[in-house]
Structure 1
Amino acid sequence: MAITEAAQSNHDQLFPGHISTLKVSDPELIEIFDNWAFDEIIKASDMDIRLRLMVQLAALIACHAVGEYRAMLDGALNVGVTPVEVKEIIYQAVPYAGMGRVFDFIHATNEVFRNRGINLPLEGQSTTTAQTRHAEGLAIQKRFFGERIDAMVAQSPKDQLHIQHFLSANCFGDYYTRKGLDLKTRELLTFAMLAALGGCEPQLAGHVAGNLAVDNDRQVLIDTLTQLLPFIGYPRTLNALRVVDEGTSA
């Protein structure tokens, strides 16, 4: 077996002039993986290359795959994903993967940026204030999930109401309202993160509905999972596909 011309071309587009050390130490594995991930997988959907790299970066954060993230970050920057977009992917991961998992990626990204001569900090993207964050976050929640948000608050035990407040003000008010990425992209990134985390099927189901509300249709969600498959594996991909099937059935 040899690496196909298409796989080599797609790999070189992301990593021009790079020679993998694994290609020397583990040539059979690299031939299998590259022919699949950089040829067959890419042919299986029409996803734009920039969006493909963004959802893959989001999934790698959720998997806590720091080494692979660093490699793919270079590829993403090489094909036009902007530093602001990269930072917003990382920030969007905080309410879903948690700072304990995201912390390492902030430092890895900053190191890559410094090596590329990208000055930090980047321009701020926040749009809300302490006074507006809850109302603006709640508005986005209701756009995504409709009346279910009022029902969640109404049915919440009193000693858990603060969590519902945090969801509106922090998860949505602090993050979804930021500039740098539009709502459609942010919601697709969230879908990618939840699929990659695994064990989050109830939340994933909610965000299938959220994606449909911002016109990320069934095909977009399937294309996303197709492009994540090499990095998150079959079990999590198949579980996520089941949730998509349930959420998009007639």
Structure 2
Amino acid sequence: MDRIELCREKFKELFGGEPVKNEGTDPEFMRILQRFIFGEICYTGDLDNQIRELITIVVLAVNQTLPQLKAHTQASLNVGCTPVEIREAIYQCAPFIGFPKTLNAIAVINEVFTEQKIALPIQSQETIPDDQRYQAGLAVQEQFYGNEWKGRYEWLTEEYAEAVPRFLTEFCFGDFATRTGLDAKRRELLILVIHAALGCAGDQIKSHTKGAMKAGNTPDTITGALLHAMPYMGFPRLLDALNAVGEILEGE
């Protein structure tokens, strides 16, 4: 099949309808968009529809492109992602994009869930009591990132030198990485994609590439995930991320 036929096939899988032909005010642009994303990008690499849609929704949450997030939340359900998986992917954005943007994204996915008569709130995925956030978070942090962060902020005054790494451990890892609903492999891959979508490069991308690989992601999966994110975040951020990832993969 050519990319027009592939686009039609993928679009139906995701959205249950037909791609644009001549409808709307800008059919030419929509044909370029749809044929590239759904006729080419979605067939490059071996990622399945479910992880592709989870990648898409976290990038859309990062960018706060909320109408598209609504469409892809429905697409995620259409290809078999569970409400829990979708919610956990969005929750995982919070340490990196902040609470307000995450709340905006949560409102959008909950709108879709309500339309689909999915009961809210969705079942809890918490696994640890509040007083174990640090130790449980530290176990995950050291598993995937070692102790490279230790001592990095000793130049701060005593209060902040203690608080910054503790908040990193308790919030990023204790509050989120200990939750069920997403396995570590997918969670770490999505964290890497979130950093790429934010425009992070250098040390943070390198660190999260190592973490994603320790969680079981292959170089091909990492490359495929970043490429899939490209139409939603742009080529410059893809290339910046690949440059940093390449330094890690070439050293393996």
TM-score (norm 2): 0.92
> What corresponds to 1:98 in structure 2?
98
For 2:23 and 2:203, locate their aligned partners in 1 and report how far apart those are by CA, in whole Å: 40
The aligned counterpart of 2:227 is 226
Separation (CA, whole Å) in 2 of partners of 1:120 and 1:213: 34
Q: Could you tell me which amino acid in structure 1 is paired with residue 141 of structure 2?
A: Q
Please list, as runs of the form range in 1=range in 2, the aligned pairs for 1:176-215 lying within 5 A after superposition: 176-199=177-200, 201-215=202-216
Structure 2: which amino acid aligns with 1:93? C
Worse overlay, 142-151 or 74-83: 142-151
Deviations 1:164-215 (A, max 9, x none): 0011111100100001011111111111111111145432221011112112
Work out the CA distance in 2 between the residues paired with 1:23 and 1:34: 13
In structure 2, what is the equivalent of residue 81 of structure 1? 81
Distance 1:210 1:138, change over 3 A: same
Q: How far apart, CA to CA, are the structure 2 residues paired with 1:225 and 1:18? A: 26
Distance 1:157 1:217, change over 3 A: farther
Q: 1:134/1:104 Cα in 2 relative to 1: closer, same or farther (>3 Å)? A: same
Aligned pairs for 1:44-193 (under 5 A) are 44-152=44-152, 158=158, 159-193=160-194
* Distance in 2 of aligned mates of 1:74 and 1:21: 22
Q: Distance in 1 between matches of 2:20 and 2:106?
A: 24
Change (3 A) 1:134 1:23: farther
How many percent identity over aligned positions?
Answer: 33
Indicate the SS of the match to 2:92.
helix
Q: Which amino acid aligns with 1:173?
A: G
Unpaired segments of 5 or more residues in structure 2?
A: none
Query: Matched residue of 2:204: which SS?
Result: helix
Deviation at 1:124, TM superposition (A): 0.4
Higher relative contact order (CA 8 A, sep 6+): 1
- The two structures, once aligned, show a CA RMSD in angstroms of 2.0
Alignment partners' CA distance in 2, 1:137 and 1:22? 52
Give the TM-score of the pair, scaled to structure 1. Answer: 0.93
Partner Cα separation in structure 2 for residue 48 and residue 228 of structure 1: 14
1:32 corresponding residue in structure 2: 32
Between the aligned partners of 1:147 and 1:156, the Cα distance in structure 2 is: 18
Whole-Å separation in 2 of the counterparts to 1:21 and 1:160: 58
Tell me the residue number matched to 2:250. Answer: 249
Q: Distance in 2 between matches of 1:41 and 1:54?
A: 15
Sort the Cα spacing of 1:105 and 1:18 in 2 relative to 1 into closer, same or farther, 3 A: farther
C-alpha displacement of 1:21? 10
Mapped partners of 2:155, 2:81: distance in 1: 42
